[in-house]
Amino acid sequence: TWWIPRLNLYRDRQRKGFVGGVGNYLALTGARLKGDDLIYAGIATHFIPSERLNELKLALIDATNNSTQSLGDCVAGVLMSFHDEKVNVDLDKAFLSKNRKEIDQAFDGKQSVEDIVSTLESVKSDSQFAKTTLDTLKQMSPTSLKVT
């Protein structure tokens, strides 16, 4: 799971390359993302199973301590050596991918939080995503949603 601080993400979302309503959705809901969502959103480039993280940590320490390459080159090489092609990350099953149409409908191009809430309200009877998202937004500080 990976968490995005709401204020920082919203202010930087264009530079992060989020397309459609994904940046606004993440910024306003504070949604936590799993590996497949991180790759889908372009935040992560590699997926390494959690049982290999300690091994990765040691390899990164070793590579950066014993290399004459730039830090970026060292890290890229280690990540590629740990990237497991056999671990199938099905982006079609990622939460963001499965809900992308509704995310874009509710969050893309809206001028205010009220516009987003109105859109979600209009489809909530047909959409579990809209219901859940409305519940999440109602738990947030109204001031925080407005400032974000």
Residue type, 21: G
Q: Where are the alpha helices (DSSP H) in the chain?
A: 6-16, 22-29, 35-41, 53-65, 71-82, 95-98, 100-107, 113-123, 128-139, 142-147
- Per-residue confidence band for 67, with pLDDT thresholds at 50, 70 and 90: low
| Tens-digit pLDDT profile for residues 97-133 | 999 999 999 999 898 999 999 999 999 999 999 999 9
Tokens of residue 84, six digits: 């497991």
- pTM, two decimals, is 0.74
